[in-house]
Structure formats: C-alpha cells, structure tokens
Amino acid sequence: MVNAEHYKSGGPIFILTPGESGVSSMYTEDTHFVSLASETNGLMVAIEHRFFGDSNPMPDLSGASLKYLTLENTLEDFAHFIRVAKTNSSSLFKTAIAANSKFVFVGGSYGGALAAWMRAMYPDLVTAAWASSAPVFSYIDFYQLDQALGRHLTARGCGDSFAQGVKDLDAILLSNNSSGLASVRKMFSVTGNTAQDIAAGITSAITSTVNLPVMLSGDALDQSVCSFFEKPLPPLTAYSMAVSAAVLGLSMPQAIRPYRNTVMHRRDTSAKSQGNLSLNQPFRSWYYICCKWFSDWQVAPPKDSNITAYRSQLVDREYWQGGCQSNFGPDIHPLTDVTEHNRKWLGMLKGVTNIYYTVGELDPWRDTTVATVNGTLLDNTTSAPIFVMNGATHTQDMQPDTLYDLNSVRMAKEMGDSLIKKWIL
C-alpha cells in the first residue's frame, strides 16, 4: 500500500509493516505517521510480512514451508524493497522518488521491533526508526503480561474481583466434571474438548481487550471489563460476561471503535475483509514464530510464587508448546532458545542511534520492551531516547491524532516528530 499524497522530491519514505496482520489502507491512511509524512513531505508505504496476509511465498503453511519464516529473511525482504526503491523506484511507485530521500522504518508492537531491528541491521538503508511498544526481549513463560493487566484492572477497581473469578473458574475446570465443563462452555460462550482447551479459549478471548487504549474520554478496559464487576454479581458470573462480550465483539466502547483495528492488530486482523489471510489460517504462522523465535507463552504465574493469577492455571507452557511438533512436524525441534535469541536480537540494539522507543505505562507488553516496569533493558544505551506514556497502553502513539489523546500520548508524538525531523536532515 502506498500513500504519496504528501510526497515532494527529497521527502522521506516512511515504511511500516502490520507484522502478523494483513496489510490494508488503514496503515497508510489512519496512523499518526500520516501526519508526520504530511509535515515532512513524506511518502507512506505499508508492506506485508512474509507468510501473513496474501504474502505467502510457499503453497502451504507446513513446517517444511515455514522454515523460511525467519527474522533474518523477513528483515532482508524489507531491505531488498528499500534497495529497489533506491535504484529503480519506478518499478514500485507511480511517483518518482528522489535519490536523496531518506528511509524511516516505523511501527507498533511486533512491527515496532522490526523497525528497531531494521535500523540496527541496515543502518546504510534505514536512517531512523520509531519503535512503538516494541517487544524486543522475550520470555519463555510470559506471565508478566497478565500482571500488567492486573495492575490496570486494580487501578480501575476490579482487579481482586477479576482474580477471584479466575480462581472460581479453575475450581470447576480442575474438577474435570463433565457437567461442570458443559456449564462453563455455555456460560463463557467458548468451545473445547478438554478443560485446558476451554481455559485457553477463555483467556484468549479476554486478552483481546488488554491492549485497549486509555483516552481523555475514558478508560476502555474499565468500560469493557470492570463495568461487569460493578454489578451485584458473583465474580465468576461477571468474569463470564466480560469474556462473552469480548467473544461477541460487544465490549468495545463506542467512542473508540474507529480505532479498533490499529489498537488490536495483534489479535483482530483483517480476516473478515480478506478472503486469503495466511492461506485461511490467520494464526498458524504466528504460532510457528512463537515456537521457533519468541516463545512469550502467555501463562499464569508459577503456582508456588504467591503471585496473583489473572488467567487459568491450566494454561501453561507445556500446553502451548505441546502443539508445536504436532502442527509443524519433528523438524520444529529444538524449540526456541530464548537466552540465545535475546543475546542476539536485544544485543544488536545496544549502542544503535536514531531509534525512538515508546511504550505505555499500562502496556501489557511493557516488560518485553526497552522500558520495563523495573527499569530499562537497554540501561547501557544512552543514545536511544525512550518515552513512557503515563496512563497509556499499547501503541497509543501510533493512533491517528484525536482530541481524545492523553497528554502523555501527545507529548510522545511531538517528541518523536521532532527527533525524526532532526535525524532525516
């Protein structure tokens, strides 16, 4: 997708990828970077990631095909695009691109991590990067995501009740009583043959809400989750109502529905509008990435840790990893070496200039970013500006500019705009 409406000779080229989603005009028309392109006479380009959307280089998504889904190959795809744009722009754009146009990689969430890695790996091609909520550090067991959710829920007044609803759910699931499981399926509007499958379906549904934005007009998580716990209902009933509403897509507050796609692109992809999203298996490629690259398995905290759980204890690493070999064959092993992954991919970012990192204070993915709750992972890097948006959640600075933006989000955008303008001079 290309938006050359604002381009003038010598202006920058902003490249963005939806990452694990199919590309759409939303990415070239409805993000903050369009405003930045307008101010800098820039051109916006959105490029699909290999094996997502319609960009499937192989006839299937078997393990044999997906072995070509590597970070190195993915980054080289984007680098190749830039090289062609520099040497033969007429083959890509209707608008002639000046030889002195700088390339800036921008993006949010996984796309933000790609932006940072593109700047680190290809400094001769990518002049600057804006990495919003970029998960550049991985965990095997990523229970920190739910801990961030819990802090947000607690701040809104329903953390304890939510956790009690989860505990009450586990009491039924762990009994493994067939009638109890049937009642849970009906109550939560989910399917599953086993207690673990049911628990995974429930937690997958509720995690679709954790990235919702906080705006001056209100906190979407408060409206879509905590509102159910404000009623005089048992915690399990309130929990089931929040999950069922998420499954049916009813929990999105009307005020922020126009921003749903950009806010929730990790889960709510363009599957409904595109007939061939990752060969009609929209999450299979991402599951492969989790098996082979990141892990980041979203699990409950260890049972003996005394840490409050905000998801079922039945959803553990073994449950998620158990499907890797059955889905992709024996060649999927060995699974992710997270220590080595972090050594390479986080390590390459240290000392790299011209990367702007942003993250929301309440971002559930914050502990995978360079600005963790307990301090930065890049504490030896003084050249990378980092902005933590007070009160914000996931990739909020990517959103189109609105009157409802938090002051911290506005400040993050202003700082980013200023830095990018300085870096492309």
Q: What's residue 74's pLDDT? A: 98
pLDDT in tens, 268-311: 333 333 334 678 887 899 999 999 999 999 999 998 899 999 99
Say if residues 384 and 355 touch (Cβ distance below 8 Å): yes
**Would you state the pLDDT for residue 330?**
87
More confident residue, 247 or 152: 152
Indicate the pairing of strand 386-389 with strand 375-376.
unpaired
CB neighbour class for 340 (10 Å; exposed up to 12, middle 13-18, buried from 19)? exposed
Higher pLDDT, 358 or 253: 358
- Work out the mean pLDDT of the chain and round it to a whole number: 89
Nearest to 129 by CA among 399, 385, 365: 385
Confidence of residue 223 (pLDDT cuts 50, 70, 90): confident
Instruction: Give yes or no for residue 261 having a pLDDT over 50.
Output: no
Q: Is 242 helix (H, G, I), strand (E, B) or coil?
A: helix
CATH architecture of the domain with range 2-137+339-423:
3-Layer(aba) Sandwich (3.40)
The pair of three-digit structure tokens given for residue 397, joined into one six-digit string? 């600075």
CB-neighbour burial class of residue 171 (10 A; exposed 0-12, middle 13-18, buried 19+): exposed
Say yes or no to pLDDT of 239 above 50. yes
Q: What is the pLDDT of residues 148-207, one digit of tens each?
A: 999 999 999 999 999 999 999 999 999 988 898 999 998 988 888 889 999 988 988 887
Per-residue pLDDT tens digits for 52-107? 999 999 999 999 999 999 999 999 999 999 999 999 999 999 989 999 999 999 99
Give the model's pLDDT for residue 265.
Answer: 30
Interval 262-271 mean pLDDT: 30
Distance of CA 70 to the CA centre of its chain: 18
Beta bridge partners of 16: 46, 106
Q: What is the pLDDT of residue 276?
A: 43
Determine contact, residues 285/167, Cβ cutoff 8 Å.
no
Give the pLDDT confidence of 316-367 residue by residue, as tens digits. 999 999 889 999 998 888 888 999 999 999 999 999 999 999 999 999 999 9
The b/e string for 193-222 (b: 16+ C-beta within 10 A; e otherwise) is eebbbbbbbbbbbbbbbbbbbbbeeebbbb
Q: What is the mean pLDDT of residues 114-141?
A: 97
Note the pLDDT of residue 366.
Answer: 96
Instruction: Tell me the one-letter amino acid at 202.
Output: I
Residue 249 has a pLDDT of: 63
377-399: average pLDDT: 87
CA torsion, ordered 410, 37, 129, 391, to nearest 10 deg = 20
Which pLDDT belongs to residue 381?
A: 58
pLDDT band at 132 (very low <50, low <70, confident <90, very high): very high
Task: Answer for the pair 75, 117: CB distance below 8 angstroms, yes or no.
Answer: yes
> Ramachandran region of residue 323, left (φ > 0), alpha (ψ -120 to 50) or beta?
alpha
pLDDT above 50 for 264: no
Q: Does the global pTM surpass 0.75?
A: yes
Percent of the chain with pLDDT over 90: 75
Identify the bridge partners of residue 128 per DSSP, sorted by sequence position.
Answer: 104
pLDDT band at 266 (very low <50, low <70, confident <90, very high): very low
Could you tell me the two tokens for 15? 């490249």
For the chain, the domains span 2-137+339-423, 144-332
